[in-house]
Amino acid sequence: LEMSYKRLNEINLSNKSVLLRLDLNTPIENGLVANNERIVRSLPTLSYIIEAGARLIVMSHLGRPEENNSFQEEFSLSPVVKELESLLDKKIPLHSLDEFENLSHIPEISVIENTRFCIGEKTNDTDLSKRLASLADLVVMDAFATSHRAHASTTGVITFSSDACAGLLLDEELNALSKVKEESKNSVAILGGAKISTKLSLINSLSNYMDKVILGGGIANTLIAAKGYDVGKSLVEETMLSEATELLENPKIIIPNSVLVSDSPDKPGRITSIDAIAENEAIFDVAPESLTSLEPIFMNAGTILWNGPIGFFEKENFDKGTIKIAKMITASKGFSVAGGGDTISAAEKAGVLDKLDYVSTAGGAFLEFMEGRKLPAIEALKEKVN
């Protein structure tokens, strides 16, 4: 039996103080939150704790500031707090950790500044972890997207807390992602993105537990080159050619045999078979027509995992492959999960964001979980069950 963690509904929250770790790491443009998806997806846990009658202290990191105990405006959670105030229709004070520790009265809800301002955050420092843990009766971990980081605010704080449990989003993420990992009958993975080096171990583990692994984007270019074809000016990772050759021997792995090439990403592409790419051309997309042969795989799929655009989808001339894949995924009756990096923007551009069965809020944590790696924050939560 797999050991699990405590959930919110197992704990009496009334009159307790709760330290809630969220992942509110969102893009900020001109002092405003440019995409509030992670904030919106954290609302159920926030509301649950507030309605249960607990005092709530929220913490998160934002970006990658200098870890030097000083305030850095560019990385302040201030825009996030403004967004949260408007979503919850409440005034929410924002304090540095020092300020918060010196408050004479703990507000009903408050936010602590960017945890990455604090020296000791990234080294999972014991003193910082204990300081954080002592702020509240209970630690609730809901930052699934940061659960792959063994930091003081994600891991140490749980270890040194009096009690800790998972939030609603973290639990929901793990359930949806586990479903794809465990129910692997007629399972299909589609992986895109630029570099094979960052995804090699993911491809290797997916090809163990999924039935088909369809590759596109720069990842596929390196396999096409490893097959011995001339790929012209395409993005290829020369140092990965021998690993790519090994992958080609795996019958589960599918690469495109027809692609869109051009001598510039700003010019329209030409459809060609992978054995006829000219010296001055680069691959910018999978030829959408060639994806039709994959339709039966999607139609019969039980579970579908999607990570990464399969072409240069930011450019209008080369977004058709990704859009076609997105449509094939959502036309299937299979349970579909998308996550990691650019996948959400790709799904948004293809107009399928709300048609996918589950969209993960996580980037790196999504990939590490799918790879089968242990996530330190989740391990710390499990260890709190005794």
Give the footprint of ligand 3PG on this chain (CB under 6 A). Answer: 23, 25, 64, 145-146, 149, 363-364
Nearest approach in angstroms of CB 149 to ligand 3PG is 5
In angstroms, what is the minimal distance from the CB of 219 to ligand 3PG?
Answer: 20
Return the number of the residue (269 or 339) whose C-beta is nearest ligand 3PG.
339
Residue from 52, 58, 43 nearest 11 by CA? 52
CB of 33 to ligand 3PG, least distance (A): 14
**Residue 24 C-beta: closest distance to ligand 3PG, Å:** 9
Taking the least distance from each CB to ligand 3PG, the nearer of 64 and 90 is: 64
Q: Please tell me the distance from the alpha carbon of residue 125 to that of residue 140, in angstroms, as a whole number.
A: 19
Of 48, 39, 44, give the one whose Cα is nearest residue 111: 39
Q: Are 265 and 315 in contact (CB under 8 A)?
A: yes
- DSSP sequence for 6-37: -BGGGS--TT-EEEEE------EETTEES--H
If the CB atoms of residues 25 and 330 are measured against ligand 3PG, the closer one turns out to be 25
Q: Least distance in Å: CB of 361 to ligand 3PG?
A: 9
CA–CA distance, 178 with 134 (Å, rounded to integer): 33
Neighbours of 246 (CB within 10 A): 13
Spell out the alpha helix ranges (H) of 217-270.
Answer: 217-226, 241-248
Token pair for residue 289?
Answer: 């027509």
Query: 122 vs 252, which CB is nearer to ligand 3PG?
Result: 122
Nearer residue to ligand 3PG within complex by CB, 149 or 212: 149
